[in-house]
Amino acid sequence: MWRCRVRLRSVSGFTLIEVLVAAFVLAVGVMGALAAQTVALRTRQESALMSRGVQLASAFADRMRANTAQMRVPDDANPYLQIRYTAASDGAPGPPAQPCHSGAACDSAAMASFDIYELQRELHSSFPAARVSVCRDAVMWSQADGSLSWDCSGAASDPVVIKLGWRLRPSRDGVTATIAPIVAIVVSGDPA
């Protein structure tokens, strides 16, 4: 008689289901890491724009303070208080009649014109859909939602304020978000 012995060996390894589950878990982890990286890049860009906006507004406020002759003229003749610039609709600014680079002899009006040109040029080239307004305003915050407002009170006793804004990103429904002021700098030491 012949006896047949069959030995069953245990096979070690992974089944197809285990491999698919592991691949799915890995894919979810990679997608989460990519989403986190995207958010981090967007936040870094927004922070860089915010920092640059604050620096630009502060530097422009310093230029305004330095040009005391123009800051002392009545508001309706003060070129700084006439700034209402929207890069998307106004386009690139034209160069001033007299460039006032270092060493150039410029009067206060030419210097103000050059300062305004430099501000608008920087906004147009460095910020998405930038907007700036310089006005007198005592209440910069909107009563409705607590955000900065483009409206200005305009009273002669109100401080001079520089308001900068730019488009951060489109809204989720695909419509371009409105441009609200993001930076507001009060020009202190106003001699007017």
> What is the reported pLDDT for 173?
60
Q: Where residue 156 falls among pLDDT bands split at 50, 70, 90?
A: confident
Q: What is the pLDDT of residues 8-44, one digit of tens each?
A: 666 666 788 888 999 999 999 999 999 999 888 888 8
Q: Which has the minimum average pLDDT: 6-20, 101-115, 129-143, 151-165?
A: 6-20
Token pair of 178, please?
Answer: 């409105």
* pLDDT surpasses 80 at 181: no
pLDDT tens, position by position, 115-144 = 999 999 999 998 888 889 998 988 877 767
Choose among 152, 164, 192: nearest CA to 67: 192
pTM: 0.75
pLDDT of residue 31: 94
What one-character-per-residue DSSP string does 62-113 give? HHHHH-HHHHTS-GGG-GGGG-EEEHHHH-SPPPPSS---TT----HHHHHH
In terms of DSSP bridges, do strands 160-165 and 84-86 run parallel, antiparallel, or are they unpaired? unpaired
Find, among 48, 57, 131, the residue nearest to 88 by Cα: 131
Mean pLDDT of 71-94: 90
Please report, for the chain, the start and end positions of each structural domain, with discontinuous segments joined by +.
17-188
Burial class (CB in 10 A: 0-12, 13-18, 19+), 126: middle
Of 118 and 97, more confident? 118
Note the pLDDT of residue 189: 43
**Residue 183: its H or E element:** strand 181-187
d(CA 165, CA 64): 19
pLDDT tens-digit readout, 57-73:
999 999 999 999 999 99
The radius of gyration of the chain from alpha carbons, rounded to an integer in Å, stands at: 30
Q: What is the pLDDT of residue 174?
A: 58
Task: Give DSSP secondary structure letters for 83-95.
Answer: -EEEHHHH-SPPP
